[in-house]
Amino acid sequence: MRPRDGMIGLALVALGVLIGGTLFSRSVPRSVIALPDCGSTCYRPRDLAGLVASVGIRMLPGWVPGIVAETDRCLALRHPQPEARVHLVLVPKHDARDIGELTVDDQPFIMDCFAMVPALAATFDAQNYRLVTNGPALQHVTYLHFHLIAR
């Protein structure tokens, strides 16, 4: 290997660390990847989905499919596998894994999602609706979100 090749490789690694640091800087830390025998420290698919959601929602909101409403602090999108006539997912634009880990910093984002509910219910003619969130063991994606469901 020539010295120039080593410098290019080092520059690419530094660039990768810089980009990764920027993308994940405001994400809640999730478990560390350790293969093949990682036991309880492995990423579960829902943890990886939560990490991707964290970056996508904050950094690439135009790439999120099915958006029906958006504010500076919350996204509302159609559920990819709806369980009812109306099944929307409200996603705060502040990374939190689940309702049990909320902090004061999360409050404006949660309240903004809640404030969207009446307008969404009116838009989708949903008189009898539920707004629910799942605890950690029931989540398919490890990222706090709310389901607005109306039959």
Cα–Cα dist 108/121, whole Å: 21
- Please answer whether residues 96 and 28 qualify as being in contact, where contact means their C-beta atoms are separated by less than 8 angstroms: yes
pTM for the full model?
Answer: 0.66
Nearest 5°: the CA angle 84, 90, 82 is 20
Q: Given this model, what pLDDT does residue 138 score?
A: 87
Give the C-alpha separation, 58 to 74, whole Å: 10
From first to last of its 151 residues, what are the pLDDT tens digits of the chain? 555 655 565 555 555 545 555 554 455 554 444 444 455 545 556 555 555 555 556 555 566 778 899 999 998 989 989 999 999 999 898 888 889 989 999 999 999 999 999 999 999 999 999 999 998 888 887 888 999 999 9
pLDDT at 123: 96
Tokens 């080092």 sit at which residue?
10
pLDDT score recorded for residue 95: 82
Domain ranges of the chain: 45-150
Q: How far apart are CA 103 and CA 144, in angstroms?
A: 12
CA distance 28 to 11: 27
Contacts of 131 (CB under 8 A, 6+ apart): 90, 114, 117, 146, 147, 148, 149
Cα 118 to Cα 148: distance, rounded to the nearest angstrom: 11
Give the C-alpha separation, 62 to 7, whole Å: 36
What pLDDT does 143 receive?
A: 83
| pLDDT at residue 7, rounded to an integer | 59
Range 45-150 classified under CATH 3.40.50.880: no
pLDDT at 63: 66
Calpha distance 54→131 (Å, rounded) = 21
